[in-house]
Chain A
Amino acid sequence: MTKSTDEVVEQVLAGLRDSEVPVGMERRILEAVQDRAAVKSRWGAAQSWTRSWTWGIALAGTVAICVAGFMVRRMEPVSDASQVHVIPVKVLDALPTVSSQVAEKSPQLPPPSIVRVERKASTRKDRLISVTDAASLSAMRAASYPAPPAPLTQEEKLLLRIARKGDPQELALLNPVMRAARDAEEKAEVERFFTQPATGDHE
Chain B
Amino acid sequence: MTSIEGCSLVLSSIESAGSEIDLTSLVETYSALLFRVAYSVLRGRAEAEDVVQDVFVRVIEHRLDLLTVRDMRVWLVRIAWNLAIDRRRRIRPEQIDARFAETLVARTVPADEAVADARRMKAVLSEIEKLPRGERHVLLLSAVEELDTAEMAKVLGRSESAVRALLFRARARLRKRLERGEGA
List the interface of chain A (C-beta within 8 A of B): 1-2, 5-6, 8-9, 11-17, 19, 21-22, 25-26, 28-30, 32-34, 36-37, 40
Closest residue of chain A to B181, judged by CB?
A5
Tell whether, in the assembled complex, residue B143 and residue A33 are in contact, meaning their CB atoms are under 8 Å apart: no
Known: A21-B35, A22-B45. A13 touches B27 (CB 8 A): no
A5 to B182, CA, bound (A): 9
Tell whether, in the assembled complex, residue B121 and residue A8 are in contact, meaning their CB atoms are under 8 Å apart: yes
**B43 close to chain A: CB less than 8 A:** yes
Q: Contact string, B1-37, partner A, CB cutoff 8 A, digits 1/0?
A: 0000000000000000000000110011001100110
Tell whether, in the assembled complex, residue B60 and residue A9 are in contact, meaning their CB atoms are under 8 Å apart: no
Tell whether, in the assembled complex, residue A16 and residue B43 are in contact, meaning their CB atoms are under 8 Å apart: yes
Q: Contact string, B90-128, partner A, CB cutoff 8 A, digits 1/0?
A: 000000000011011000000000000000110011001
Tell whether, in the assembled complex, residue A29 and residue B27 are in contact, meaning their CB atoms are under 8 Å apart: yes
Other-chain residue from B100, B124, B140, B144 in contact with A9 (beta carbon distance below 8 A): B124
List the interface of chain B (C-beta within 8 A of A): 23-24, 27-28, 31-32, 35-36, 39-40, 43, 45, 48-49, 52-53, 56-57, 60-61, 100-101, 103-104, 120-121, 124-125, 128, 139-140, 142-145, 171, 174-175, 178-179, 182
Tell whether, in the assembled complex, residue B175 and residue A9 are in contact, meaning their CB atoms are under 8 Å apart: yes
Contacts of B103 in A (CB 8 A): 15
Question: Helix, strand, loop or mixed for chain B's interface?
Answer: helix
Q: Nearest-CB distance from A136 to chain B (Å)?
A: 69
A95 to B40, CA, bound (A): 104
Tell whether, in the assembled complex, residue A26 and residue B60 are in contact, meaning their CB atoms are under 8 Å apart: no
- The 3 tightest CB contacts between A and B, nearest first, are A13-B143, A15-B104, A16-B40
Closest residue of chain B to A29, judged by CB?
B53
Contacts of B182 in A (CB 8 A): 1, 5
Tell whether, in the assembled complex, residue A29 and residue B49 are in contact, meaning their CB atoms are under 8 Å apart: yes
Tell whether, in the assembled complex, residue A33 and residue B140 are in contact, meaning their CB atoms are under 8 Å apart: no
Contacts of A29 in B (CB 8 A): 27, 31, 49, 52-53, 56
Known: A25-B31, A30-B24, A36-B57. A12 touches B121 (CB 8 A): yes
Closest residue of chain A to B174, judged by CB?
A9
Tell whether, in the assembled complex, residue B145 and residue A30 are in contact, meaning their CB atoms are under 8 Å apart: no
Q: Nearest-CB distance from B55 to chain A (Å)?
A: 9
Tell whether, in the assembled complex, residue B125 and residue A25 are in contact, meaning their CB atoms are under 8 Å apart: no
Contacts of B52 in A (CB 8 A): 25, 29
Would you list 23 pairs from A and B whose C-beta atoms are within 8 A, ordered by A residue?
A5-B182, A9-B178, A11-B121, A12-B101, A12-B104, A12-B124, A12-B125, A15-B121, A16-B36, A16-B40, A17-B40, A19-B36, A19-B45, A19-B48, A22-B35, A25-B31, A26-B27, A26-B28, A28-B53, A29-B27, A30-B24, A34-B23, A37-B60
